[in-house]
Structure 1
């Protein structure tokens, strides 16, 4: 389908700094009528919104996340829905030269009419549509109707029209999803994923309005600061104009706060395109740089542009955006004189090599209108709290809201930003490529001013997908699929991104071999090489507590281990009979094929599985031990990668400069790879991330019978007072201690390693800057031998309306102590830890105010040994 119909002025490729232009706007947000002729439904719905949230609000359907409603409500995404409403238009509006309908987001296939006159069509969820509507409007009452077509049905129709099959077709049956998502430009995971449901929405998911004016106006501003040769900064500014071919007569005034710098120039005549100009920041100007979380401050500057009348006083349009001054370099250079040992792959920020301590981001809800700024803030602050400085915006989701990027700017979370293509091959028809071109232009222009965006990646995992599908499925189509891949990402997307944004790197795919993939014609024979680029690694059968399991890549941009969400989170969407690990609904909720069985098998390598005869209690206990496994597995893998920051083996492996575990957040209540579940409760993994991403990491491991301890630092220390058994570091990671385990135990008086563990602390035992611990055997060997600990919550005190101290006591050493605040959303200062001292004090921070009695009554605590007695 064509992205626009005859009569459409253009699709404006602009940065939406604001949602309206003051008095020259008719806001069409709010209540619309929604009609389904097939079912005879007519309900009201709020815009921005979707058909699902409208049906929920009208009590036509129950919670879509309850039990198997993702399957029960499939009919919604397979039917067509029509949005309609009335609105008033004055004679003054119609007197303007330009009257346009601006739709910031329409999901996905629709025909737009005003007063029965067709004004355009939409077919891309990620575009901002602008239609000329002056001729269709009348003074007084008007009707606008947006008639949607089912994205599910449209995808199937486009697949039928394709000259050849384009995988993947349909998802794994375990996902209960829909087919042919790759044929349409829509949030790919809305057709299901192995961690989420299928809710392929329809609706007006971002703001919509009618705007009117007589002369061109500044719709938005984008700006890219560049450090030039003489150490001054040049800000490359673009004024995005609406509407083309209208006259301008005024002055553009530009100011940069905190500097006193000012620039102005005259605009006169007819504007036919956006306006480009440079704003120089002399080297003498004091500029504070923007740094990633943990490396410095996240200084932001307000860049304000005023378009004023020739008298210099009457403001026609004023826009302000926040920018940060920083440089990014992706370094790919030989690691040795031996060319076969490959290239580095790491980032310099402001000329400083930065290790990416990161995670991956997926959409925070299946219904994007429910993702509030508060929800975003809680998730992203939870990331920053555990030292995360980078995060991949994953290619199967959406280009996020402005609030998302602003928070990442403020928190110093660098974004490895996929474009929205993931785990599939894609068409290269002229219609598809035309829509993609407009999408990439719009989104890069909209987002490029944000200093937090680290790089653009053309897709997620599709370089490897080409080889996989060619080898396993359709060898006879190999040249066709390779050609399509290069056509889409290299010939179409790459030139657009690189022409619009010179401030950050573009990589064609992730994972990829980077420069080596380019050398091989953009599709490497081994896209997961340990010698080039970035790598994704999953293994659902191996021992994930053994560091020898893992590769040694240049950068690990995705890896993970699955675990159930917290019990009280899943309890809300299950019936009583479902609260059994082996129930039909527990299996339905698991969208990764054989996932529930794999979690049990991997956990059982280390921990004896609970045996309670009460299936509900057993389910709770299983969730607890599986979360232990997930936390320990990702700890083991992340620390393994961090230890290789400065190491280069004789075989050329090493110099690992980033770990982005899969994944930070959940889209619903289910077993997934997330470290924070849908109810914003931290899983044990998130508490462990605070330790394995510690700026001063103690990382011990045992290989054979030899203990090795590494110290991994975000910065090289000037001086440390090491003990006599350790050595001074002159780099950010290195071995500081090695010794035979038997010798250590003999010196400590431990006669059986099953009764002992190793505890490590940095600088001071009483007030350590960092700690770690290491078991000397698997817990399957010691369970039943260690005494049950009598852990008590001995005292709870109020620090504020949202902060409390919680004091724990124990009579024995207790591994994996887990304290829970049932019904109270928030996080503890530590959790899932080994309690080695008789008393320990924690701090709990709640998301919302709560009284002391309510909080105290919500608390419970357990350790691993408690569930077997």
Structure 2
């Protein structure tokens, strides 16, 4: 057995057509494999960067062009029985030719392909050609053949098995890619090979089980032996001549368990599988790390409707989740190191679950391996989003093959805990005026409620399947019913103020989000507008949401002072995003255990854009990230409206009881106490306690000049409640002392408040794009201090670090520049 990668020597050509620019027609462009047309043209300096300004609009011709990749490679035949061309990922409508002979055609980006090419290879130079037909032409032809179906955008993404958001989204660019986007190479083998290996890993009490399902592809009908080892357990089974499947069960006593982050360690065990010939020769081998853990989904009826609770190792887990989209529109840019950085950002924000959204892609092996290591749970959508999908051929067969391949590929990963049938399509069928234009045509129901659950039930019964996000557990219920299953909350962003989150007590929120622009350094890199304004041309192009700017303005008008300039607008819109999501998360967490999960939209961006992300398209943390870290803390103290008054809610997401003194004080903005109470917290592990506040605390004398401060002992837990909106509060002028000192890990900016300082934040990326700060959005009372640590590639100017627009708080808006 041998592998021969075919990643070198590729060139790329556009097939002639009237849309192809003359400087690219008939030009051979060096191609990177794995890669795609856009990044190859960009590397050759033949196109402008589609992420900058409005360049994207001038590059639409790429998706409507046919492209040819070609390479020549040397080959010397051996004594192998078979030589296969293995294509891990082709994007998307491809014709593969070797030495002038067509070996196969593909039309699914989400599958791999294998072709027997041994008879076509000859000694010396061989030529491999892959032609990619326009994804648009393919999709539009199937749309015209089958009849159009509704979707969220005027693009035909639901008529091709390709990354849907390539066709543009309300946060993403329209960059319809083509190319050899995953590994490609030759695989020479003899007698037999491991076609698929599917370990189902379970644990019950003190017994761990690996049920190993193997498919064997044969070049010879002779007996072969399958051997496996894991965690000290070994086993083997003979696969008789003529047989192509085998099951081998390994039992492990008292296995060290794998836990989600925050609940225990992430114990991983090497599983090694070998296939041997009758004479003992190793024919093929496969290995992965697996984890022993149980997972189940509790959806039992109760007094509030029906539950949606994820149990790992029989412990109910409150999901502190976030949605994941492709981290770049061009996947060859997403390295393991880049994924590891995102995972650190997620874990550092106290997130414990990533939901891979159904308009993107099944992620790389690196993604799931890193999730296993980090203890980040993964909810995996099948790839359907925001559209009515045809169930006719060739789509049904493609989707079945795709689902079987991906379920088999991902079965080994302990981080994967839930399969989901689609994103918003069942909801769309109910509420988005689809039924009349569909006129009885297929829309995907058969996938979500029949085909996919059957495949998961057959291939991966160790994990739960849920037909959609949102979904309420039954076709007899509205799919977005907050009392049952999962729900999405988008009326807040689209139509209402974010305080409306408090009107919902859902069982599980799988999507809710609020927008803000990216960091200033990201804006300045990607947009050349002068002057930069919220509605300048580049800013407008990088705002893809319908009426996005108007919705941002509505949010500002409801809560915050009027911005005097772009710097104010940038700070306040980012602050409003952070406050909206913090309010939502704290409200939902305060209703534990009725609500047992929140998945914020979204962690990341795929390019520089105004969006719902906590980490922008250049990988920089927005203020939302810091608010999430606070709202998702294992121990949360929060003030919440309850029964016409106010209550302090203590939420304990740890395995130990939270006990200790807490105080709640009503203060003036100048720090003078008006009323105070003390309580003893006693919050059991994995639970919450609601402590109603007496009326003298909950009712201010002067709403515009007072606040509540709740503090829990020496744990540094603090919660604030303001009785009026910022735009109504009589903020004093921001009065502070600030100093900058060098430190071992960067510059230390110490701020001491002489007045109340509301949501104090540092934005050092305005001075250096490499600069980061350790915390943000800190409210100080008079006399209090905070230290910020700023890290950058070079020391930053102390005066600039401590003045507007780098150092900001809400009450300097009224004051103007200090």
TM-score with structure 1 length normalisation?
0.86
- 1:466 and 2:422 equivalent? no
Instruction: Show the counterpart of 1:6.
Output: none
Structure 1 residues 851 and 317, CA gap change in structure 2 (3 angstroms): farther
- 1:76-115: CA deviation from partner (whole Å, max 9, x where unpaired): 11111100110111132xx432111000000000111111
CA distance in 1, matches of 2:627, 2:531: 30
Residue correspondences, number:
784
Instruction: Show the counterpart of 1:33.
Output: 11
- 1:441 and 2:415 equivalent? no
Correspondences of 1:179-328 after superposition (within 5 Å):
179-218=155-194, 221-228=197-204, 231-241=206-216, 243-247=217-221, 251-257=225-231, 260-267=232-239, 269-271=241-243, 273-281=244-252, 285-308=253-276, 315-328=282-295
Instruction: Show the counterpart of 1:510.
Output: 469
Unpaired runs of at least 5, structure 1: 1-20, 173-178, 612-617, 647-654, 746-750
Secondary structure at 1:592's aligned position in 2? Answer: coil
Structure 1 residues 578 and 325, CA gap change in structure 2 (3 angstroms): farther
Task: Judge conservation of contact 1:696–1:769 (CA < 8 Å) in 2.
Answer: no
Structure 1 residues 473 and 403, CA gap change in structure 2 (3 angstroms): closer
Q: State the 1:549 CA deviation.
A: 4.7
Instruction: Show the counterpart of 2:32.
Output: 46
- 1:660-706: CA deviation from partner (whole Å, max 9, x where unpaired): 01000011111100011011111111101111111110010246973
- 1:691 and 2:636 equivalent? no
Secondary structure at 1:265's aligned position in 2? Answer: strand
Structure 1 residues 296 and 728, CA gap change in structure 2 (3 angstroms): same
Instruction: Show the counterpart of 1:125.
Output: 109
Instruction: Show the counterpart of 2:298.
Output: 331
Secondary structure at 1:701's aligned position in 2? Answer: strand
CA distance in 1, matches of 2:501, 2:493: 15
1:166 to 149, 152, 155: 149
Structure 1 residues 240 and 841, CA gap change in structure 2 (3 angstroms): farther
Q: State the 1:36 CA deviation.
A: 0.9
- 1:150 and 2:134 equivalent? yes
Task: Judge conservation of contact 1:245–1:270 (CA < 8 Å) in 2.
Answer: no
Secondary structure at 2:516's aligned position in 1? Answer: coil
Correspondences of 1:540-579 after superposition (within 5 Å):
540=493, 544-546=497-499, 549-577=502-530, 579=532
Task: Judge conservation of contact 2:89–2:109 (CA < 8 Å) in 1.
Answer: yes
Structure 1 residues 752 and 209, CA gap change in structure 2 (3 angstroms): same
CA distance in 1, matches of 2:324, 2:12: 32
CA distance in 2, matches of 1:298, 1:791: 45
- 1:135-183: CA deviation from partner (whole Å, max 9, x where unpaired): 2222211111111101012111111111x33112x726xxxxxx21101
1:739 to 694, 707, 726: 694
Instruction: Show the counterpart of 1:668.
Output: 607
Correspondences of 1:700-779 after superposition (within 5 Å):
700-702=639-641, 706-715=645-654, 717-718=656-657, 720-723=659-662, 724-726=678-680, 728-729=682-683, 732-740=687-695, 752-764=702-714, 768-779=715-726
Task: Judge conservation of contact 2:190–2:283 (CA < 8 Å) in 1.
Answer: no
RMSD: 2.4
Instruction: Show the counterpart of 1:842.
Output: 788
Correspondences of 1:71-150 after superposition (within 5 Å):
71-92=57-78, 95-150=79-134
2:733 to 787, 792, 809: 787
Task: Judge conservation of contact 1:193–1:591 (CA < 8 Å) in 2.
Answer: yes
CA distance in 2, matches of 1:449, 1:697: 34
- 1:375 and 2:338 equivalent? yes
Task: Judge conservation of contact 2:236–2:248 (CA < 8 Å) in 1.
Answer: no
- 1:407-437: CA deviation from partner (whole Å, max 9, x where unpaired): 1111111111100001111111131111111
Task: Judge conservation of contact 2:72–2:127 (CA < 8 Å) in 1.
Answer: yes
Task: Judge conservation of contact 1:694–1:770 (CA < 8 Å) in 2.
Answer: no
Task: Judge conservation of contact 2:150–2:438 (CA < 8 Å) in 1.
Answer: no
Task: Judge conservation of contact 2:239–2:246 (CA < 8 Å) in 1.
Answer: no
CA distance in 1, matches of 2:494, 2:85: 54
Instruction: Show the counterpart of 1:13.
Output: none
TM-score with structure 2 length normalisation?
0.91
Structure 1 residues 772 and 114, CA gap change in structure 2 (3 angstroms): same
Task: Judge conservation of contact 1:756–1:775 (CA < 8 Å) in 2.
Answer: yes
Task: Judge conservation of contact 2:87–2:114 (CA < 8 Å) in 1.
Answer: yes
Q: State the 1:575 CA deviation.
A: 1.3
1:61 to 47, 51, 58: 47
Instruction: Show the counterpart of 1:628.
Output: 575
Instruction: Show the counterpart of 1:641.
Output: 588
Q: State the 1:34 CA deviation.
A: 0.5
Secondary structure at 1:395's aligned position in 2? Answer: coil
Task: Judge conservation of contact 1:726–1:736 (CA < 8 Å) in 2.
Answer: no
Structure 1 residues 656 and 742, CA gap change in structure 2 (3 angstroms): closer
Unpaired runs of at least 5, structure 2: 663-677
Instruction: Show the counterpart of 2:671.
Output: none
Secondary structure at 2:259's aligned position in 1? Answer: coil
